[in-house]
Amino acid sequence: MRIATWNVNSIRTRKALVVDFLHQLDVDVVAMQETKCRDDQFPFDEFDAAGYEVAHFGLNQWNGVAIASRLGLSNIEQGFPGMPGFSKTGELPPPLEARAISATIEGIRVCSVYVPNGRGLDDPHFSYKLSWLDHLGQAFRDYAQSPHALPFAIAGDFNVAPVDSDVGDTAFLQPGTTHTSEAERKTLAQFETTAGVADVVRPLQPEGYTFWDYKQGKFAKDEGLRIDFIYGSPSFVELVEGGFIHRDARKGESPSDHVPVIVDLASEDEDDRPMIF
């Protein structure tokens, strides 16, 4: 099974690009972020014609997450238990945003997440970001402890560059900058510990960025960030055969500012099949 995650930065703008990517790279499942549309605006017909079933969670023109699969989808869940909401005005309870969706595909639980940006270290959105990551870790800790837990992956745009080597854009290394602050990195590390997950692509491709700003020729100068990840549970990690960052997706006409991250899995029962002579 080949699983990808991609912040597509508007699925209605890039639907043809995404479908071409799925076919050209023979992708079975893709977790998408920043679809930027309501459920009724998602281009389901194009994906259906390409052979993919889609689960989408979108509330307005912001955020939005989806999972597309040519292997079927079951047990679809929008959000996750305890997921925080956000309100600029102090509204209680703060409304939920379309930032997480999960589904089961052939015995693998996949969650597509779009972690809040944070905006600024003194912005209320920053504390929301940290709280959101904390609750995500707790939700998957609880899932992992349930008797019916499956191997799982949490894939998406985490809006945190965990280490300095993940930062080619030096503007993000300045004091007071989001995505690289000590608080964000500490919270992301705690999420990994709490959920019991590991970055499954980094050991296979230690270097490389997944995001380049559109401005100032950042891509041409390779001044990017590594902020998109596939985190897997121990039983998911055991299935991993390969993984990489698809940098070429940032080239061409009207690309997203992010590129896909891809992982290949062995069949869970591959080693148990009888040998035939």
Q: Quick one: pLDDT at residue 271?
A: 44
Q: Quick one: pLDDT at residue 269?
A: 55
Q: Using CA atoms, how far apart are residues 269 and 252, in angstroms rounded to an integer?
A: 39
Considering the entire predicted model, what is its pTM? Answer: 0.95
Locus of tokens 């500490």: 186
Q: Using CA atoms, how far apart are residues 142 and 164, in angstroms rounded to an integer?
A: 31
Q: Quick one: pLDDT at residue 90?
A: 85
Least confident of 89-93, 98-102, 103-107, 188-192: 89-93
Tens-digit pLDDT profile for residues 137-176: 999 999 999 999 999 999 999 999 999 999 999 999 998 9
Structure tokens at 95: 């409304």
Q: Are 115 and 99 in contact (CB under 8 A)?
A: yes
Structure tokens at 96: 């939920």
DSSP letters along 97-129, please?
-S-EEEEEETTEEEEEEE------TTSHHHHHH
DSSP annotation of 274 reads P
Domains and CATH numbers, the chain: 2-269 (3.60.10.10)
Res 116 pLDDT > 70: yes
Q: Using CA atoms, how far apart are residues 277 and 79, in angstroms rounded to an integer?
A: 48
221, burial (CB in 10 Å: exposed 0-12, middle 13-18, buried 19+): exposed
Q: Using CA atoms, how far apart are residues 155 and 200, in angstroms rounded to an integer?
A: 10
Residues 6+ apart with CB under 8 A from 170: 223
Tens-digit pLDDT profile for residues 190-241: 999 999 999 999 999 999 999 999 999 999 999 999 999 999 999 999 999 9
